[in-house]
Structure 1
Amino acid sequence: MEEKKKVMIDAGHGGTKDPGAVFEDRMEKDDTLRLALAVGRILEENGVNAVYTRSTDVYDTPYQKAEMGNEAGADYFVSLHRNAASEPGKGSGVMTLVYKTGRESEQLADSIQRELARTGYVDLGVIERPDLIVLRKTQMPAVLVEVGFIDNPEDNKRFDAQFDEIAAAVASGILNVIDDDMDRRPVEESDYYYQIQTGAYRIRSLAEQQLEELRRMGFPAFLVYDGTYFKLRVGAFKNLDNAVRMERELRKAGFPTVLLYEREVK
């Protein structure tokens, strides 16, 4: 039996020593813990081993958190935060930080960032931050996600009103990368075919919106429901070259893609 992928989820800040950014009566450490546990539950439901730097209101240094990920042998490290501006209310949106672009961590960052932007937040992109210990000292692909600005009332309103969707977006971003890794393994050609996935949603209406858009543009799209996510798939190809050509067309049309190798349904 193949070993589960392991993801270390870090709820940023913690304890009385480090509440993180504070706005009115709201503390970053509380939002990040709530989100970390929600993301972890979704990952577990999808066959991923989710582990945490903290599951209660405790403090550990960034170095200790990085070491937790290393000692656990995690495949990925995802640190969750809320942003803050120098002047309250002036910042808005989501961004994902990496130690350096051009590495495997950028693929993870891109995937999470795309999914979060679909929830309605302003997309601030993927940014290099080589000074952050949890990105520099971790031995696996690591990202730090800033989920909206805690000092912006509108970002907070979205965080609360769409909390389940936001948690699902972060989890989907992680699962997309895990699926990509798992589905590229060598397999028996006769039993498998290629598909292109363009998104995964917990909310059916969001998936159906993208499904309609894909079909309107002439792509042979359909939905796959795995019990948790409604996944957008395009095509079913025995020939890899045909699948790659379809993936290129989808990318040209502006869709994020993951090329999957799926077992044929008999």
Structure 2
Amino acid sequence: MELSKKRRRALLALALTAVLGMGVTPAWAGVTPTEGQNVVAGKTTAEQAETSAPMLDAEDAGEAAAPQELALPAQEAPLPEEAKSPAPADENEAQATDAEVGSAPAGDGAKTDQQEATKAEPATKAAGQTPASGDGADDGSGSTMAELEELSKTTNVDELVASKPQVVRDEAPLQLRKLAKTASVKSIEMMRLYNPNSGEHFYTSNAEEVANLRSLGWRLESVGWVAPETSNVPVYRLYNPNAGDHHYTTSVEERDDLVRLGWHDEGIGWYSDSGETVALLRQYNPNAKAGAHNFTTSEEENDSLVRLGWRAEGIGWYALAAGYAIDPKETSYIYLDAGHGWQSNRPTKWDPGAQGNGYDEADLTHDLTARVAKYARELYGLRVYNNGDAGPSLVDYSGRQADAKSRGCTSLVSIHFNASEDSRATGYESYRHSETPNPRSARLQSIMHAQLTSTGLRNRGARSAVIAVVSGRNDGLPATLLEICFVTNPYDMRQYMANRDKVARALAKGLYEAAQAGF
């Protein structure tokens, strides 16, 4: 992300102000998150430091399975001695929360250039010596203040730093010079994800990798930091096939040591900021097998982990900017499927679905999804795609998973109404696919099923079946299908029609809870 002309000009003006001796520092030039707030969304570091890693119930444990690439394979290579963790001295020692568990064990024996990692900031020259003001003032290199003012109008920040006005290079505050140096650098956001089963944190800028890991149960916690798109300092990514986790380092020696010990070299993960703007602090948990390293721009998180028994290992690399929390609502995009209705790829363009007591299922689903989408947006600020708005262009049920995926949606909730030859059949139920399920579909089903109590009808249970719209085919999304009630039962329909707005609000709340859970 390159800075806008307006912001770059503002930066130039600030640097010029520093030259004139006014000592102004931009408010957005901080290198750490707001005090008391970790980079993990929704939790302060203090809160995280006081809690231990969450225990998963049997249902969650089955749904949030570790991704295949992190599954522990057969012992194809010896487990590096450095990756083995000693038994903890105390049961509670160095237990970390979601936000605190590190990324991967490199081990005590893996060599690190500690002198490089803890390198001090370069000393700055005194900023108090400024040239005399006035149009004729000279900076010592033949440039007048008038020339400096003219220079400040440029949109090329590099000209401010590298051109002839020596005073800008020598006497502007260090932070301003760093900002001037990096302002025009192309950057990428490094996403920080957490595996609740292995305790590993994983870092990547690859959107497809993020989406794949989230579909396998990983939690997107935050933007870990902002990295340069390229630099002369690569950060190497390595994988331990026995422990099933990753490690990251700028040290060629450490990389080569780990490869000799059986780790896989996965190449360059990203780049460190050559300008050393913001430090990525590295911590090590000697008692963890997987997720033994953590990397953060937050000094508070670093200090909290050290108090819990982690070892501070200095600076891992540098970022252009610190990490920041992500609102789950911003990363969630839910596909709301109105069952039946339009099917552009079929000879019969309109499918009414189940029928009974004067009602067509398709009419009911389109009405309800419109209400749910409205409340989800207005009450919770969610991003929802309601395919009931698509009209005649909508494909039939078998193509809706693919349609959701093509739109960048993160989960799918399909709304239906039931029917039976027995008019006494009553109640609500939900489904996930029984043969090709996404590992997280059961959790999504549980969240949404709980909202159906608002119908006031009998709970027929959470079930599984071979249903195409919730299939894991086409790299399917986490998905569930809800049967609201029976159109063939007069009592069900009276209950639903009397409470349909209440049902819509409840389902919108369910979508919000799903978004908070990373769907």
**TM value normalised by structure 2:** 0.33
Structure 2 Cα separation of the partners of residues 149 and 109 of structure 1: 19
Task: Kindly indicate whether residue 491 of structure 2 is the aligned counterpart of residue 154 of structure 1.
Answer: yes
Do the aligned residues in 2 keep the contact of 1:108 with 1:173 (CA within 8 Å)?
no
- Residue 507 of structure 2: aligned partner: 170
| Deviation, structure 1 residue 4 | 3.9
Do the aligned residues in 2 keep the contact of 1:8 with 1:52 (CA within 8 Å)?
yes
Identify the match of residue 122 of structure 1 among 454, 458, 473: 458
| Deviation, structure 1 residue 14 | 0.5
Identify the match of residue 54 of structure 1 among 380, 388, 391: 388
Q: Secondary structure at the match of 1:143?
A: strand
Structure 2 Cα separation of the partners of residues 161 and 78 of structure 1: 23
- How do residues 126-137 of structure 1 correspond to structure 2 at under 5 angstroms? 126-129=462-465, 131-136=466-471, 137=473
Identify the match of residue 140 of structure 1 among 477, 482, 495: 477
In structure 1, list runs of 5 or more residues that go unmatched: 183-266
Structure 1 Cα separation of the partners of residues 456 and 410 of structure 2: 29
Q: 1:95 to 1:64 in 2, by over 3 A?
A: same
Do the aligned residues in 1 keep the contact of 2:336 with 2:385 (CA within 8 Å)?
yes
- Residue 360 of structure 2: aligned partner: 27
The one-letter code of the counterpart of 1:145 is: L
| Deviation, structure 1 residue 56 | 6.0
| Deviation, structure 1 residue 119 | 3.4
Structure 2 Cα separation of the partners of residues 114 and 132 of structure 1: 21
| Deviation, structure 1 residue 104 | 1.4
- Residue 427 of structure 2: aligned partner: 93
Identity %: 25
Structure 1 Cα separation of the partners of residues 513 and 430 of structure 2: 16
Task: Kindly indicate whether residue 373 of structure 2 is the aligned counterpart of residue 43 of structure 1.
Answer: no
Q: Secondary structure at the match of 2:389?
A: coil
Do the aligned residues in 2 keep the contact of 1:10 with 1:78 (CA within 8 Å)?
yes
Do the aligned residues in 1 keep the contact of 2:357 with 2:490 (CA within 8 Å)?
no
| Deviation, structure 1 residue 57 | 5.5
Identify the match of residue 82 of structure 1 among 414, 417, 429: 417
The one-letter code of the counterpart of 1:132 is: I
Structure 2 Cα separation of the partners of residues 32 and 132 of structure 1: 17
Mean Cα deviation higher: 29-38 or 120-129: 120-129
Structure 2 Cα separation of the partners of residues 108 and 168 of structure 1: 17
Task: Kindly indicate whether residue 350 of structure 2 is the aligned counterpart of residue 17 of structure 1.
Answer: yes
The one-letter code of the counterpart of 2:446 is: D
The one-letter code of the counterpart of 1:105 is: S
Q: Secondary structure at the match of 2:350?
A: coil
Do the aligned residues in 1 keep the contact of 2:372 with 2:504 (CA within 8 Å)?
yes
Task: Kindly indicate whether residue 441 of structure 2 is the aligned counterpart of residue 105 of structure 1.
Answer: yes
Do the aligned residues in 2 keep the contact of 1:5 with 1:75 (CA within 8 Å)?
yes
Higher helix proportion: 1
Q: 1:151 to 1:35 in 2, by over 3 A?
A: same
| Deviation, structure 1 residue 154 | 0.9
Do the aligned residues in 2 keep the contact of 1:13 with 1:29 (CA within 8 Å)?
yes
Structure 1 Cα separation of the partners of residues 455 and 508 of structure 2: 13
Structure 2 Cα separation of the partners of residues 81 and 122 of structure 1: 16
| Deviation, structure 1 residue 148 | 0.4
Do the aligned residues in 2 keep the contact of 1:108 with 1:174 (CA within 8 Å)?
no
Structure 1 Cα separation of the partners of residues 511 and 425 of structure 2: 25
Do the aligned residues in 1 keep the contact of 2:438 with 2:477 (CA within 8 Å)?
no
For residues 196-238 of structure 1, the C-alpha deviation after alignment (integer angstroms, 9 at most, x for no partner) is xxxxxxxxxxxxxxxxxxxxxxxxxxxxxxxxxxxxxxxxxxx
For residues 137-176 of structure 1, the C-alpha deviation after alignment (integer angstroms, 9 at most, x for no partner) is 3621101100000111111111111011111121222222
Structure 2 Cα separation of the partners of residues 32 and 155 of structure 1: 15
For residues 72-106 of structure 1, the C-alpha deviation after alignment (integer angstroms, 9 at most, x for no partner) is 1111101100000122x221111110014793111
| Deviation, structure 1 residue 63 | 2.1
Structure 1 Cα separation of the partners of residues 444 and 389 of structure 2: 23
Q: Secondary structure at the match of 2:460?
A: strand
Higher strand proportion: 1
Q: Secondary structure at the match of 1:96?
A: strand
| Deviation, structure 1 residue 133 | 1.1
Q: Secondary structure at the match of 1:151?
A: coil
Mean Cα deviation higher: 17-26 or 51-60: 51-60
Q: Which has the larger radius of gyration?
A: 2
